[in-house]
Amino acid sequence: MIPTLTALTAPAFVRGELITEDLVRFGGRGAVETFQTPNPQKLLGALPLFDPSSLRDLHEIPFEEIVAFLAAVGEALVLQRNAHLQEALELSAQFSDMTAPLVRSSFEQLPALFTPDAVRELADATIGIRYLQGWVPRTMGDGRTASIRAFGARAVHIIAGNSPLIAALSIIRNAIARSDAIIKTPSNDPLTALAIARTMGELDPAHPITRHLSVAYWKGGDTAFEEQLFQPAAVEKIIAWGGFASVTHVVRYVQPGLELVSLDPKRSATIIGREAFASPEALNEVARRTATDVGALNQLGCINARVVYVACGTDPDGIERANRLGEAIYTELQRLPEQLSTRAKWFDPELKADIDALRASPEWYRVFGGREGEGAVIVSQLDEPVEFARRLSGRVANIVPIDDPADAMREMNAYTQTVGIYPESLKSTLRETLPLHGAQRLVSLGYAAHPSVALPQDAIEPVRRMVKWIVDERCEPDVVQPLWASTTREEAERR
Amino acid sequence: MSIVADAERFADGPAEYFGHSWYAMQHVAADELAALQFAALRRRFAELRNAIPALTLLADEAGVDTLDELNDVVPLLFPHSVYKSYPSALLVRNRFADLTRWLDRLTTFDLTGVDVSGCTGIDSWLDTLEAHTPLRTFHSSGTTGTLSFLPRSMHEWDQMGQAFRCGLFQYSDPLGAGGRHDGEWFELIWPLWRSGRSAITYFPGLALPHLLGSEDRLHALRPGRMSSDAAYFAGRVRAAAARGELGKLEISPALRARREEFEREQREMTESIPRFINEQIEKLKGRRIWMLATWNVLYNMSKAGLDAGLEKVFAADSLVTTGGGAKGQVVPDDWEEVVQRFIGVDHVQHSYVMSEITALNKQCEQGRYHFEPWIIPFVLDPDDGAPFSREGEHTGRMAVFDLIAATYWGGFISGDEVTLSFEGCACGRTTAHAAREIERYSDKRGDDKITCVAAEDAHRAALEFLTGEFV
């Protein structure tokens, strides 16, 4: 391969130490997406934590020290004064699916995740700070006292790269869980996790939180490497984000002693009630909120809206209402502020071809926009999504008119994550049945892409599964009937 | 203006124009062929611009009324998904009047007078269209749960059949010295239904008058016609199962009633293949046969034959034609050798086939797929769709214009990535030629990019899993 001057270099960070040697080249064709990173094989000696007692240092620090250290990290992650983030932003054009304004605004959100309030809320809502501080006693019905504590574990995080916040969230979760993390970066974000780790290393390279964080790249599915890393002797958990291939290829390593926490690939939907057409103001409001759910962070997330069910009716008047709303959503999409949404960096040519094909059938589909890669709204003129609904990206929504909001249920399945709903009253009705069909998160329209990281995710509580729940049971023979003195049947009958 | 008259004869009947010689088709001087293709393209555009509503819309929007060079047609090529741009609810709910109106926009024939109100399924809908018009519409295999419909007519099918015959003497008569090969026929071994409306099941009917000469030479696994309703149904069930939505599948009562019959037929067919092959070997050994199948079908059959001690079973001038890629399986290095030894031929004829066009683009001695002269190939920039120049070699998205198409628009953009050369080939042929490696863009994935968004690949993998179970 011809070396290019622009090739991006992503060093590895192993337990406080920056590794820049033994670079090998990875990635796609041409300069774009090509980057070099330390040979993962050479890291194998240092990456896994074979001695489990090495986690002791993390368990000896008070919870408040974790909070304080993360707070210091957050203060150092202010983009204007953090050289690593600045460099990542500058190089983002070479790897990120996002455009520069979106990478910038994502980076600007990082410090808020690390504040003491945010960290405490995350810890308390996901695990309970008491369980992270020490042993929490509980008296059981048979008289024994159980003390429960959340212990850290040795984990590999295979993170997604569609948002830089995923790297930050993984690092914070690892810290509060007093765990050891090896973060495997994706090729679409090799630098954010690294920038945070380097920032930590500069603050305190010997801090237990820094010492229990590693960031490296290897090609997902590189079995020669992964077979040596994913051993129960060194890794107890794999936290795998999204991407069908990334989840399926780690499944082979799962065995007793090595658990997989899978944050499955998902898609989201929207259900809009008839109330949207109550007044011109309501219509505009709904259009703006829907455009936000569709366009936020360029529709790169699983949380973004794609297919939008509108209970406008399927008679000609209803279809006309759907068309009006579709046009309004398209207009609002173009008005979204630059820090929230821009023209897509790459507009899928297959998708563009499919949209163009629909223009040949104006009786069945109304298409607003989509010619220049600026985003599009496709309004189905029947109560059915487009055939390529599962490939909508680059700020493309499909409006599907239905008669009753409940009709949207048939399109929900195990892949459904967020459902944005308007109005609130409709959400109260639908929430009893939507989860049965697969929906996992119901949210007010306009807030789909604005989640709280302290809440359950993908219908599981991943942080609870990242820790090990350890019990210490205290049983006094005069309170808890001893097994060695268990009564014979005769004795029992005599009683 | 002899070029115009020539172009007319060339596009309306390429086999006749080239004296039924594949050698002639593949050895026209490049500049002469380009001129011929351009004149024929201009004529097709003039005829069809206002005769096919979907094209009219596209040409109006692009503001194109005349073509000044070959690449001018590129903005007017249809995305391949145009032929499935109807809402599937129309098909599921048997709304054939709506579907007819949709199809009407893609053909020169006027379908407004055709009464399809009594149609109860795809089979009866296409029967009705065929009874009232020259349309002989075919559809895709339906394995992904959707059907594309392409409104080809008797004219194009006939020209396609005639032209097909020419290339099939590639190995037995490489210099085209044998003229029309009058009176020479093949025995077609066909491990599928005798007929049907999917592109592949159309094949025996297409081949019969031009290549087989008689029904006696058509050896089909199963007599009769494959039901399009059955194919569509099976595809939908599989797609729904892959999505975990089997319970939500909308199935009409008529289809529900026939479900068991479809499944039984499918099972019986799969089970009867080994016996069928044995019967054909017995019946046709030493004869000149023709097989057209994907590599795995040919390989499995040949492997079983060799294991049973059978070698060089058929005549040496038999023909084995293949295309369609690896089908997601690992291809053994020696597969061709195995097939050649079993059948008893020196070559396997590889071809680049797209069901949307009327040509079998055959591979030459240099391993390059040569486009037939009535197919104008284009290579487009994969990102912005702009055509590359018609010189040198380019890698990009394959697009074609099929000049035989007289009643539908022959221009379409494929989902394939090809490397195509417009320069002469070392084999001596003068037509544009594509490299052996052809990949679907939808199969190409970002290198180790991970996102939390569920993409098609999950469904495709589930689909492959289920398909594997059924086969």
CATH number, domain with residue A252: 3.40.605.10
Does residue B74 lie in a domain region? Answer: yes
Check A353 against B382: CB less than 8 A apart. no
Nearest to A162 among B106, B146, B453 (CB): B453
Check B453 against A413: CB less than 8 A apart. no
- Whether B245 and chain A come into contact, CB under 8 Å, resolves to yes
Does residue B313 lie in a domain region? Answer: no
The answer to whether B219 touches B187, Cβ cutoff 8 Å, is: yes
pLDDT at residue B1, as a whole number: 47
String of DSSP letters for A178-232: T-EEEEE--TT-SSHHHHHHHHHHHH-TTSHHHHTEEEE---TT-HHHHHHH--T
Scanning A374-433 for CB atoms below 8 A from B yields: 380-384, 387-388, 390-391, 393, 410, 413-415
Residues in A closer than 8 angstroms to B448, CB to CB, are 26-27, 186-187, 219-221
CA distance B401 to chain A (A): 17
Domain total for chain B?
1
- Average pLDDT in the A260-276 region? 93
Give pLDDT tens digits for A109-153: 999 999 999 999 999 999 999 999 999 999 999 999 999 999 999
Its domain, for residue A411, covers 267-444
Give pLDDT tens digits for A4-17: 445 688 999 999 99
Residue B30 CA to residue B36 CA, distance in Å, equals 10
Q: Which of A392, A424, A255, A399 lies closest to A332, judged by CA? A: A399
Token pair for A302:
């699983």
Burial label for B175, CB within 10 Å (0-12, 13-18, 19+), is: exposed
The answer to whether A230 touches A253, Cβ cutoff 8 Å, is: yes
Q: Are residues A253 and A377 in the same domain?
A: no
Handedness of CA A334, A337, A338, A341 (dihedral sign): negative
Q: Are residues A40 and A106 in the same domain?
A: yes
Its domain, for residue B213, covers 2-284+347-470
The answer to whether B396 touches B383, Cβ cutoff 8 Å, is: no
The answer to whether B110 touches B118, Cβ cutoff 8 Å, is: no
Residue A18: C-alpha distances to residues A15, A178, A181 (Å): 8, 22, 16
Give pLDDT tens digits for A196-242: 999 999 999 999 999 999 999 998 888 899 999 998 899 999 999 87
This prediction has a pTM of 0.89
Q: Which H or E run contains B270?
A: helix B253-284
Q: How many CB pairs under 8 A join A and B?
A: 164
Token pair for A254:
């799962």
Check A302 against B90: CB less than 8 A apart. no
Residue B406 CA to residue B429 CA, distance in Å, equals 27
Does residue B318 lie in a domain region? Answer: no
Token pair for B347:
């070559």
Helices (H), A252-315: 280-295
Q: How crowded is residue B17: how many other Cβ atoms within 10 Å of its Cβ?
A: 20
Tell me the one-letter amino acid at B448: D
Q: Are residues A160 and A287 in the same domain?
A: no
pLDDT of residue A442 exceeding 70, the answer is yes
pLDDT of residue A177 exceeding 50, the answer is yes
Does residue A452 lie in a domain region? Answer: no
Residues in B closer than 8 angstroms to A300, CB to CB, are 451, 453
Token pair for B103:
């199809």
The answer to whether A131 touches A149, Cβ cutoff 8 Å, is: yes
Does residue B263 lie in a domain region? Answer: yes
Phi-psi map region of B163: left, alpha, beta (phi>0 left; psi -120 to 50 alpha): alpha
Residues in B closer than 8 angstroms to A219, CB to CB, are 447-448
Residues in A closer than 8 angstroms to B382, CB to CB, are 349
pLDDT at residue B464, as a whole number: 55
pLDDT at residue B457, as a whole number: 56
Does residue B463 lie in a domain region? Answer: yes
Interface test with B, best of A217, A307, A361 (most B CBs within 10 A): A361
Scanning B39-58 for CB atoms below 8 A from A yields: 54, 57-58
- Coil/strand/helix, residue A268: strand
CATH of the domain at B278: 3.40.50.12780
pLDDT at residue A53, as a whole number: 92
Residue B86 CA to residue A282 CA, distance in Å, equals 32
Q: Are residues A67 and A202 in the same domain?
A: yes
Burial label for A53, CB within 10 Å (0-12, 13-18, 19+), is: exposed
Residue B154 CA to residue B449 CA, distance in Å, equals 48
Q: Which residue has the higher pLDDT, A414 or A292?
A: A292
Scanning A431-470 for CB atoms below 8 A from B yields: none
Long-range contacts of A245-251 (CB under 8 A, 24+ apart): A245/A220, A245/A221, A245/B445, A245/B457, A246/A158, A246/A160, A246/A186, A246/A220, A246/B450, A248/B461, A249/A220, A249/A221, A250/A158, A250/A226
Residue B139 CA to residue B146 CA, distance in Å, equals 10
pLDDT at residue A34, as a whole number: 76
CA distance A39 to chain B (A): 16
Residue A176 CA to residue A120 CA, distance in Å, equals 9
pLDDT at residue A33, as a whole number: 61
Residue A145 CA to residue A143 CA, distance in Å, equals 7
Check A245 against B445: CB less than 8 A apart. yes
Residue B461 CA to residue A150 CA, distance in Å, equals 37
Per-residue pLDDT of chain B (471 residues; tens, 9 = 90+): 478 889 999 999 999 999 999 999 999 999 999 999 999 999 999 999 999 999 999 999 999 999 999 999 999 999 989 999 999 999 999 999 999 999 999 999 999 999 999 999 999 999 999 999 999 999 998 878 889 999 999 999 999 999 989 888 888 888 888 878 889 999 999 988 999 999 989 989 989 999 999 999 999 999 999 999 988 988 888 888 777 777 777 777 777 777 778 878 878 888 888 899 899 999 999 999 999 988 888 998 899 899 989 999 999 999 999 987 665 567 888 999 999 999 999 999 999 988 899 999 999 999 999 999 999 999 999 888 999 999 999 999 999 999 999 999 999 999 899 999 999 999 999 999 999 989 888 776 555 677 777 765 555 555 555 444 332
Domain total for chain A?
2
CA distance B445 to chain A (A): 10
String of DSSP letters for B330-378: PPPTTHHHHHHHHHT-S--EEEEE-TTSS-EEEB-TTS-EEPPTTEEEE
pLDDT at residue B231, as a whole number: 87
Residue B19 CA to residue B16 CA, distance in Å, equals 5
Interface test with A, best of B452, B456, B459 (most A CBs within 10 A): B452
ipTM value for the complex:
0.86
Q: Are residues A238 and A286 in the same domain?
A: no
Q: Are residues A257 and A278 in the same domain?
A: no
Does residue A393 lie in a domain region? Answer: yes
Does residue B403 lie in a domain region? Answer: yes
Token pair for A341:
């949404």
- Whether A278 and chain B come into contact, CB under 8 Å, resolves to no
Token pair for A196:
């945070």
Does residue B322 lie in a domain region? Answer: no
Residue B401 CA to residue B55 CA, distance in Å, equals 14
Residues in A closer than 8 angstroms to B249, CB to CB, are none
Does residue B117 lie in a domain region? Answer: yes
Does residue A480 lie in a domain region? Answer: no
- Whether A30 and chain B come into contact, CB under 8 Å, resolves to no
Q: Which H or E run contains B62?
A: helix B53-62
The answer to whether A419 touches A412, Cβ cutoff 8 Å, is: yes
pLDDT at residue B239, as a whole number: 82
Using omega within 30 degrees of 0 as the cis cutoff, is the peptide bond preceding A423 cis?
Answer: yes
CB neighbour list of residue A119: distance below 8 Å, 6 or more residues apart: A66, A67, A70, A71, A172, A176
Does residue A449 lie in a domain region? Answer: no
Does residue A151 lie in a domain region? Answer: yes
pLDDT at residue A249, as a whole number: 81
Q: Are residues A409 and A334 in the same domain?
A: yes
pLDDT at residue B450, as a whole number: 74
Token pair for A402:
């239905």
Does residue A23 lie in a domain region? Answer: yes
pLDDT at residue B456, as a whole number: 57
pLDDT at residue B131, as a whole number: 97
CATH of the domain at A310: 3.40.309.10
Check B454 against A415: CB less than 8 A apart. yes
Give the rounded percent of residues in chain A with a pLDDT score beyond 70: 95
- Partners of B350 in the β-ladder: B322
Could you list the beta-strand ranges (E) of A41-179: 136-139, 145-151, 154-158
Residue B11 CA to residue A449 CA, distance in Å, equals 55
Could you list the beta-strand ranges (E) of A284-432: 305-310, 365-369, 376-380, 396-401, 416-422
